[in-house]
Homo-oligomer: A and B are copies of this chain.
Amino acid sequence: MPDERAFQDYYPDDVAHCYGCGRLNEKGLHVRSFWDGDETVCRYLPAPHHTALPGFVYGGLIASLIDCHATGSAAAAGYRAQGRAMDTEPALRYVTAALKVDYLAPTPLGPELELRGTIKEVKGRKVVVAVSVRANGIETAKGEVVAVRLA
């Protein structure tokens, strides 16, 4: 069972307003990410208005979920690489330098989505995260994010 605090719960208040994952953004998506062994996992239930063609999830939402799950995963990986817990100082926060999404199949709107992140590289300030998106256990999209630590 993963830690009950999500990666995003450790973001300092002054950088916790992101529309995708900031806990302090009242209108945001509130993406929450956790370790599951060496993978990271995020579960998200799209709202009915997050539609593309009727019955399917909007691709921009999928891109947003991948983006925020990956930057959260990058932060978690950054702490791990330094051998530190996420509640220790200095806080690590990452931004997206590049985002790539391949839409493999229409993602059904209705079930909870599961995003799984794999840390591909941690090098200096850069972390590369691959993300797989599944609905009903079937992979419908995969993405890759290059995240860079804020100075």
Please give the residue numbers on chain A whose beta carbons come within 8 Å of chain B beta carbons, in ascending order.
14-15, 17-20, 22, 25-29, 49-54, 58-61, 63-65, 67-68, 95-103, 106
Partner of A96, one of B26, B49, B103: B103
Number of chain copies forming the complex: 2
Partner of A61, one of B15, B19, B26, B95: B19
Q: How far is the CA of A125 from the CA of B53 in the complex (A)?
A: 18
A98 with B100, Cβ < 8 A, contacts A20-B58, A52-B18, A54-B14 known: yes
Q: How far is the CA of A60 from the CA of B20 in the complex (A)?
A: 7
CB neighbours of A96 from chain B (8 A): 59, 103
CB neighbours of A65 from chain B (8 A): 60
Once the chains bind, are B95 and A102 in contact (CB under 8 Å)?
A: no
Q: How far is the CA of A19 from the CA of B28 in the complex (A)?
A: 15
Q: How far is the CB of A121 from chain B (nearest CB, A)?
A: 17
Once the chains bind, are A49 and B28 in contact (CB under 8 Å)?
A: yes
